[in-house]
């Protein structure tokens, strides 16, 4: 009887080790969230894989990929509003693997955020009229009007906030960890 229990214990440990190794390999490979056409440079984002809310419950209105000017990588840009109605934008580092854009988790590097200045790009009442968005050069942030209307213009309504921070992959992807 002891040898059967010992065999079961060894088998259970082996299966657990294989499951941990498989999960680690999946995390090491990253999660494909989009692709870049090598001829045209056009990006495609797999939005069905991505959450539509920030961790605080605020709405994400726009998701897109933006080329990082300093290297060959990309940033996943999440533009919207924090739960309190203030503008909030996150730029999350993404890497290239062939033509695929990959989030390499479980911890993702937050490049910077765009925040509104004194509520000047924030929502008012039921109307969410403005959003902070990164400049294409990554030099700063600007306030954009919502496609539903209202001129947001550009100007000192948003600021770039740089901090050494990470974002959990589970706060970005709908299905993480994979089931």
Domain residues of the chain, as ranges?
31-171
Return the pLDDT at 97.
94
pTM of structure: 0.72
Task: Tell me: cis bond preceding 11? Omega within 30 of 0 counts.
Answer: no
Task: Give how far Cα 132 sits from Cα of 78, 102, 161, 162, Å.
Answer: 10, 24, 12, 15
- DSSP lists the bridge partners of residue 97 as 100
Cα 104 to Cα 88: distance, rounded to the nearest angstrom:
23
Four-residue CA torsion sign, 36, 55, 31, 93: positive
Tokens, residue 49: 């894989």
Which stretches in the chain have pLDDT values below 50?
Answer: 5-28, 125-128, 146-155, 179
Query: Tell me: the pLDDT tens digits for 28-72?
Result: 468 999 999 999 999 999 999 999 999 999 999 899 999 988 888
Return the pLDDT at 3.
54
Return the pLDDT at 163.
78
Count of beta carbons in the 10 Å neighbourhood of residue 97: 13
Return the pLDDT at 42.
94
Q: What is the 3-state secondary structure (H, E, C) of 122-161?
A: CCECCECCEEEEECCCCCCEEEEEECCECCCCCCCCEEEE
Return the pLDDT at 156.
64
Cα 47 to Cα 174: distance, rounded to the nearest angstrom:
10
How does DSSP classify residue 37?
-
Tokens, residue 167: 């974002």
Residue appearing with tokens 């909030």: 88
Count of beta carbons in the 10 Å neighbourhood of residue 132: 29
């Amino acid at each position: 009887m002891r040898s059967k229990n010992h065999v079961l214990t060894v088998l259970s440990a082996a299966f657990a080790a294989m499951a941990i190794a498989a999960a680690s390999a999946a995390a090491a490979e990253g999660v494909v969230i989009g692709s870049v056409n090598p001829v045209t440079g056009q990006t495609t984002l797999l939005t069905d894989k991505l959450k539509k809310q920030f961790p605080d419950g605020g709405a994400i209105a726009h998701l897109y990929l933006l080329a990082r000017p300093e290297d060959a990588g990309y940033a996943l840009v999440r533009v919207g509003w924090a739960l309190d109605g203030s503008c909030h934008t996150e730029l999350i580092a993404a890497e290239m693997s062939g033509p695929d854009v990959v989030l390499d988790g479980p911890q993702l590097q937050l490049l910077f955020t765009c925040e509104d200045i004194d509520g000047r790009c924030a929502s008012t009442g039921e109307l969410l009229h403005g959003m902070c968005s990164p400049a294409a050069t990554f030099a700063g942030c600007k306030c954009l009007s919502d496609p539903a209307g209202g001129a947001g213009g550009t100007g000192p309504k948003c600021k770039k906030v740089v901090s050494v921070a990470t974002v959990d992959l589970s706060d970005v992807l709908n299905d993480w960890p994979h089931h």
